[in-house]
Chain A
Amino acid sequence: NAGVTQTPKFQVLKTGQSMTLQCAQDMNHNSMYWYRQDPGMGLRLIYYSASEGTTDKGEVPNGYNVSRLNKREFSLRLESAAPSQTSVYFCASSEGVKLAGGTGELFFGEGSRLTVL
């Protein structure tokens, strides 16, 4: 069971470079999320997708774009990376609680550690 898979696991960028973090889930979940984790700040929601074809901003969306490519895949793009975007990024998926089989929890990938110099 792969669950939620993120790539790459590690990346070093120079200021101004662009990159895309990839995420795929094999649990047939409708909702997918991107969080960033910084020391002392917990996890903050960047963007989420409640269903295929929809995306919405979270708490800290500036400097990021997302694409929900299909039900399985949700990518996060940094168009012009800045040192403030140095962080660990987590992708997650969920079925919420209202749909049959929904457990409400988020299932997380292992994280992608990004350093912007």
Chain B
Amino acid sequence: AQSVTQPDIHITVSEGASLELRCNYSYGATPYLFWYVQSPGQGLQLLLKYFSGDTLVQGIKGFEAEFKRSQSSFNLRKPSVHWSDAAEYFCAVGAYSGAGSYQLTFGKGTKLSVIP
């Protein structure tokens, strides 16, 4: 079964600083990888996804992520954080079960706080 680890529970950065949120996954085959963002009291919004091809993927709101197979990682980055980026971020891995059903498994999330 697949799993996702987000090592950092809470990160605080200053506005304008760079950001990197870590994500490690465990899955035997080529994974389908996702990053979602959740603002307080809201649902989940997709930031970006990786299926195959270029290992550096661009997403919405200026975010990017890099897939590194050798490290089983899919870290999320942003060069300059804005106060509106304060939210909780979830990494997820998608996979098909032996019965052919598709599921996403989520990490426990990283809460981002931004200091003005």
Q: Are B106 and A48 in contact (CB under 8 A)?
A: no
Is A42 in contact with B101, judged by CB distance below 8 angstroms? no
Summed over the interface, the residue pairs from A and B with CB atoms below 8 Å come to a total of 62
B43 touches A104 (CB 8 A): no
A105-B46, A111-B43 known; A97 vs B100 contact (CB < 8 Å): no
- A43, A90, A104: which contacts B51 (Cβ < 8 A)? A104
Q: Which residues of A contact B96 (CB under 8 A)?
A: 96, 98
Of the listed residues B9, B102, B107, B108, the one surrounded by the most CB atoms of chain A closer than 10 A to its CB is: B102
Are the C-beta atoms of B101 and A43 separated by less than 8 Å?
no
The reply to whether B43 and A108 form a contact with Cβ atoms under 8 Å apart is yes
B101 with A56: CB separation less than 8 A? yes
Residue from B34, B104, B107 with most neighbouring chain A CB atoms (10 Å): B104
- In this complex, how many residues of chain A approach chain B with their Cβ under 8 Å: the count is 26
A50 and B9 CA atoms in complex are apart in Å by 32
A residues in contact with B51, CB < 8 Å: 97, 104
Are B90's CB and A43's CB within 8 A? yes
A45 at the interface (CB under 8 A from B): yes
C-alpha spacing A98/B104, complex, angstroms: 14
Partner of A40, one of B44, B94, B102, B108: B108
Nearest CB in chain B to that of A97: its residue: B32
Shortest beta-carbon distance, B39 to chain A, in Å?
11
Partner of A94 from the list B42, B99, B100, B102 (CB cut-off 8 Å) is B102
B52 smallest CB distance to A (angstroms): 10
Q: Which of A12-69 contact B (CB under 8 A)?
A: 31, 33, 35, 40-45, 48, 50, 56, 58
Tell yes or no: A110 within 8 A of B by CB.
yes
CA distance A103 to B51 in the complex (A): 9
The residues of B with any CB-CB pair to A shorter than 8 Å are 9, 32, 34, 42-44, 46, 49, 51, 90, 94, 96, 99-109
Pick 7 A–B contacts, CB within 8 A, sort by A: A43-B106, A90-B43, A94-B102, A97-B51, A105-B46, A106-B44, A109-B43
- Extra 9 A-B pairs, beta carbons < 8 Å, given A40-B108, A42-B108: A33-B103, A35-B106, A40-B9, A42-B90, A50-B102, A97-B102, A103-B49, A105-B46, A108-B44
